[in-house]
Amino acid sequence: MTRTSSNTGELQKILIIDDDYDDRVFYKKILMDLPDTYEILEADNAIDGLLLQQSEHPDCILLDYLLPDANGLSYLSAPGKKDTPEHSAAIIMISGQGSEETAGRARELGAMDYIDKNHINRDLLLHAVHAAIERNRLQEELELCQHELQKAKTSSDEFLQIVTHDLKAPLRRIAMFCDILTQDTKSQLSEDSKTCCERLDVNSNRLQNLLTALHEYAQIPTTLPDQTALDLNDLMTELEETYAPVFAEKGGTFTRNDLPVVRGYRPLLRQLFCHLLDNALKYSPSTPPTINIQAQISSGTCTLSLQDTGSGIPAERLESVFTPFQRLHSADEIEGSGLGLATCAKIAACHGGRIWAESGPEGTGTTLYLTLPLQKDSTFV
């Protein structure tokens, strides 16, 4: 293990892991031609290279594919390859005996670049090193931002869960004492006072429903670690039985074609479809509701469509309806929390899918589309 540096300033560290002395000299000469830029570290085998990487935290590693004690791919797969939790070196694999398959595999394992020894020259090497270091820096910054964003979101969701839970108890007491007060003084209240008490009761119930919806929204995870095969036909059969009394009362129909097996978390997907069905029924107040669900398959993805005959969504609101608290009607016109479709969008996102709406002229209904990952062994045609 050797070290070469042109001065003692803050230099970018380049670790060369190659058992060929002449190749190491060649790379070192090219890199040292740029004054006050690089500090060169050298190792002639994988073990010494890994030890140097973990102790010196280089910015870039020039890794030979064939080493005495390992090959470059096994080095890339080594458990200790990431030198610190916050930093990993930009690795460039260099080989004179590799192939396109080897290059592809190297990139899959984290190499920033792959260079053929037979075509290496000064400009190519300097450009590759600079580009790899810069790309690695940007990638680490992106990962840090994503980590901080996830931390902030988790903290926000936890806070929202606590707040909604803690507000429910005093709200229940307000509703309870309001009811007691109304019953005890009913004969003494004027009509205006009775109306005020009724509005107080209505609004306390709305606030309770809103807190329940907020709590439900906050509990939806960003990603699902454990997704299982879910036959949508089974889920729809269960929902048909659940909603049968509502459709019977309204004189409506709920139809579907054969549906595939997807990957997902059943409780959340059931919650999603309940929101979609509730919305379709809610916005079909004057006509018997007709709801139809169909599926199409493309490139391992299932696209579901839920078509209703409700009042429809104005074209300018087709995107905003999936934003929390964006309602088409006031609570006095149509009850709701303003979180139903936002909850659906969050559930779709945590399954790696998305949801969107299309709607024709007012009164012609709406079609909601939902994408979900298809189970690999699904035989749906």
pLDDT in tens, 3-34: 665 554 578 999 999 999 999 999 999 998 88
> Percentage of the chain with pLDDT > 90?
35
pLDDT in tens, 29-61: 999 888 888 999 999 999 999 999 988 899 999
pLDDT, greater one: 253 or 200: 253
pLDDT, greater one: 202 or 153: 202
Q: Which helix (H) or strand (E) holds 367?
A: strand 366-373
Per-residue pLDDT, 197: 82
Whether 2-120 and 224-381 share one fold: the answer is no
Separation between Cα atoms, residue 270 and residue 344, nearest integer Å: 10
Q: What pTM value is reported for the model?
A: 0.55
Lowest mean pLDDT among 19-23, 197-201, 315-319: 197-201
CATH superfamily of 224-381: Histidine kinase-like ATPase, C-terminal domain (3.30.565.10)
Structure tokens given for 348: 């779709």
Task: Find how far residue 117's CA is from the centre of its chain.
Answer: 40
Task: Find how far residue 78's CA is from the centre of its chain.
Answer: 28
Structure tokens given for 122: 């000064």
Structure tokens given for 373: 């990952």
Per-residue pLDDT, 329: 63
CB 381 within 8 A of CB 372: no
Separation between Cα atoms, residue 379 and residue 36, nearest integer Å: 62
Collapsing DSSP states into helix, strand and coil, what is residue 359? strand
65-69, 193-197, 311-315 — which one is most confidently predicted on average?
A: 65-69
Phi, psi at residue 9, to the nearest 5°? -75, -175
Looking only at the bridges linking them, the beta strands covering 38-43 and 355-359 are: unpaired
Per-residue pLDDT, 279: 86
> Percentage of the chain with pLDDT > 70?
87
CB 93 within 8 A of CB 114: yes
Tell me if the domain spanning 2-120 has CATH number 1.20.140.90. no
Per-residue pLDDT, 354: 94
- Residue 2 pLDDT more than 70? no
Collapsing DSSP states into helix, strand and coil, what is residue 93? strand
Residue-range domain boundaries for the chain: 2-120, 224-381
Per-residue pLDDT, 258: 92
Separation between Cα atoms, residue 256 and residue 308, nearest integer Å: 12
Separation between Cα atoms, residue 89 and residue 76, nearest integer Å: 11
Q: Name which of 119, 96, 92 is nearest 106 in CA terms.
A: 92
Per-residue pLDDT, 23: 92
- CA distances from residue 76 to 70, 163, 277, 367 in whole angstroms, order as listed: 10, 46, 50, 48
Bridge partners of residue 293, in order along the sequence? 256, 306
Per-residue pLDDT, 179: 83
- Residue 332 pLDDT more than 60? no
